[in-house]
Amino acid sequence: MPRKKQTEQWVEVQEAARVMSENNGRTVSADYIRLLGHNGKIAMQKKDGRTNLYLLSDVEAYRVRANHKGGQGKRQSGQGEQEGTQA
């Protein structure tokens, strides 16, 4: 007996962000979902002229890695400037 083909389930960006946030234990923005879709990391299809849909199974499977930027942060205030001097 042949297997039944599973119906693909597609979700809008806000739902995709909610699911990915829950699955990864960190907040994932709608902008990040859009970026993943445009970069081909998760499947995306057009719904209409403004709305894209994202394949739920891809969203559920994707794992967000931690962003390690050791020492690459903002410069501390006062570096390279003289403080407390008056002209």
pLDDT tens by residue, 63-72: 998 876 654 4
pLDDT of residue 3: 56
The verdict on pTM exceeding 0.85 is no
Contacts 24+ apart (CB under 8 A), 35-42: 36/62, 42/16
DSSP for 42-77, please give it. S-EEESSSS-EEEEHHHHHH--PPP---TT-SPPPT
Q: Residue 54 is encoded by which pair of tokens?
A: 């994202």
Q: For the chain, which residues make up each domain, given as ranges? A: 10-61
pLDDT tens string 42-57: 999 999 989 999 999 9
- What are 76's strand-pairing partners? none
